[in-house]
């Protein structure tokens, strides 16, 4: 049975006149105008009704839409406004958990001083701290980003890097996921440890120009270098990270770091697999400069050193961790070595507590293509 017979449409003169006004005058939604045109085409009070397919082609809708509109007209008891209007929701909308007070507290938190070990607030870090506050509902980082979003910014992350908000400690969060290289292990080795060093440094010194008639007082920042230091970064892919800042990066400094690795971090390991780049201090000879021959030989016997290829230090997990450390903790001016080590210790503790894993995507097959110059080639006769 066709919809014209099962759900007949018979409009009164007033209803038909009202629908004609909907389709010809005023500002109405396109869906309301299409429903009104369908009802006018289905009206049997003015004569014979065309087939459903003809009406659908004329109005620009599907045949199923014509059937549903006639069915809705019958279910509403011939109420044309209920038929052409928007259908009321069966359930009320769920109120947003972000009220004006919650939004204000989120902005105040984002403008506060970031926790120790972090140079700025990231969306993920805000998400963790919001979960610890009892009177603020649990919000994920995407919701927090929408709260902090501004109209003239492309994404919520760019809001955190807006120039007007930099003085409040808002900067763009870390968007990359760290990776690493799982080195081949020798029987009895506890795991691969990657070592690397980095250098931060300097502090801002404000300077100003005195005002004079017709010219306002001007202020600017001048950065004064307070020396440099070296950050030793040790990464065990599935276990921990350890960072330590030292005034220098001499052979003796590196040897003491290796001693700490073997005597404190892995005191019971027979062999420790160590991945490093080709820095001039990364040699067994450095141990003999720092310790007596017997102790240096004992430490060297427990090391299995793998150097990354030339111009391939990016294969070291420690390089990726240093990049994350720079973005999360060192992206600011720190002019005191003790303060730097305190910030590094806080970053190290939180990173190890999060149990962040390493997901390395560079496979052996990729290495044979990208690093083919390092592989020996067979001579063809």
> Given this model, what pLDDT does residue 380 score?
56
CA–CA separation, 263 and 278 (whole Å)? 24
What's the 3-state SS for the chain?
CCHHHHCCECCCHHHHHHHHHHHHCCCCCHHHHHHHHHHHHHEHHHCCCCCHHHHHHHHCCCHHHHHHHHHHHHHCCCCHHHHHCCCCCCCCCCCCCCCHHHHHHHHHHHCCCCCCCCCCECHHHHHHHHHCCCCCCCCCHHHHHHHHCCCCCCCHHHHCCCHHHHHHCECCCCCCCCCCCCCCCCCCCCCEEEEEEECCCCEEEEEEECCECCECCEEEEEEECCCCCEEEEEEECCCEEEEEEECCCCHHHHHHHHHHHHHHHCCCCCCEEEEECCCCCCCCHHHHHHCCHHHHHHHHHCEEEEECCCCCHHHCHHHHHHHHHHHHCCCCCCCCHHHHHHHHHHHHHHHHHHCCCCCCCCCHHHHHHHCHHHCCCCCCC
> Given this model, what pLDDT does residue 4 score?
63
How far from the centroid of its chain's Cα atoms is residue 172's Cα?
9
> Given this model, what pLDDT does residue 154 score?
42
> Given this model, what pLDDT does residue 300 score?
94
CA–CA separation, 191 and 239 (whole Å)? 9
> Given this model, what pLDDT does residue 163 score?
44
> Given this model, what pLDDT does residue 193 score?
58
**Residue 200: how many CB atoms within 10 A of its CB?**
21
Exposed/middle/buried for residue 300 (C-beta within 10 Å: 0-12, 13-18, 19+): middle
> Given this model, what pLDDT does residue 343 score?
92
Query: pLDDT per position in the chain (381 positions), as tens?
Result: 455 678 888 888 898 899 999 898 878 888 999 999 999 999 888 888 888 899 999 999 999 999 999 999 898 888 888 888 888 777 878 888 888 888 888 888 998 989 988 888 989 899 988 988 888 888 889 989 988 885 444 444 444 444 444 444 433 344 333 333 344 444 445 545 555 555 555 555 555 667 788 887 777 777 777 788 899 999 887 678 899 999 988 999 999 999 999 999 899 999 999 988 888 889 999 999 999 999 999 999 999 998 888 777 777 788 888 888 888 888 888 888 999 999 999 999 988 888 877 777 888 888 888 877 777 676 655
């Amino acid at each position: 049975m066709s919809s014209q017979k099962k759900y007949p449409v018979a409009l009164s003169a007033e209803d038909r006149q009202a629908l004609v006004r909907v389709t010809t005058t005023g500002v109405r939604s396109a869906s309301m105008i299409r429903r009104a045109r369908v009802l006018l085409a289905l009206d049997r009070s003015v004569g014979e009704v065309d087939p459903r397919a003809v009406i659908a082609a004329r109005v620009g809708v599907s045949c199923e839409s014509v059937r549903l509109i006639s069915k809705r007209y019958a279910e509403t008891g011939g109420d044309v406004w209920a038929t052409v209007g928007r259908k009321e929701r069966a359930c009320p909308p769920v109120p947003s958990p972000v009220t004006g007070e919650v939004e204000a507290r989120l902005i105040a938190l984002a403008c506060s001083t970031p926790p120790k070990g972090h140079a700025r607030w990231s969306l993920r870090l805000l998400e963790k701290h919001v979960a610890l506050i009892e009177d603020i509902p649990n919000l994920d980082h995407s919701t927090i980003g929408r709260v902090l979003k501004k109209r003239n910014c492309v994404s919520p992350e760019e809001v955190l890097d807006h120039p007007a908000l930099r003085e409040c400690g808002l900067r763009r969060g870390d968007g990359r996921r760290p990776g690493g290289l799982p080195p081949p292990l020798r029987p009895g080795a506890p795991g691969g440890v990657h070592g690397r060093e980095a250098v931060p440094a300097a502090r801002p010194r404000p300077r100003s120009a005195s005002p004079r008639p017709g010219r306002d007082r001007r202020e600017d920042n001048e950065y004064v270098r307070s020396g440099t230091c070296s950050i030793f970064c040790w990464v065990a892919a599935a276990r921990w990270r350890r960072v330590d800042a030292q005034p220098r990066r001499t052979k003796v400094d590196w040897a003491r770091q290796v001693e700490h690795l073997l005597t404190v971090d892995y005191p019971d390991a027979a062999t420790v697999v160590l991945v490093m780049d080709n820095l001039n201090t990364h040699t067994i000879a450095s141990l003999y400069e720092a310790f007596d021959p017997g102790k240096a030989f004992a430490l060297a016997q427990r090391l299995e050193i793998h150097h990354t290829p030339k111009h391939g230090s990016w294969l070291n997990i420690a390089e990726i961790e240093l990049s994350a450390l720079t973005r999360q903790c060192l992206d600011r001016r720190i002019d005191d070595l003790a303060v730097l080590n305190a910030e590094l210790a806080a970053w190290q503790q939180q990173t190890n507590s999060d149990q962040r894993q390493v997901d390395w995507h560079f496979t052996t097959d990729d290495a044979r293509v990208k690093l083919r110059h390092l592989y020996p080639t067979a001579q063809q006769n």
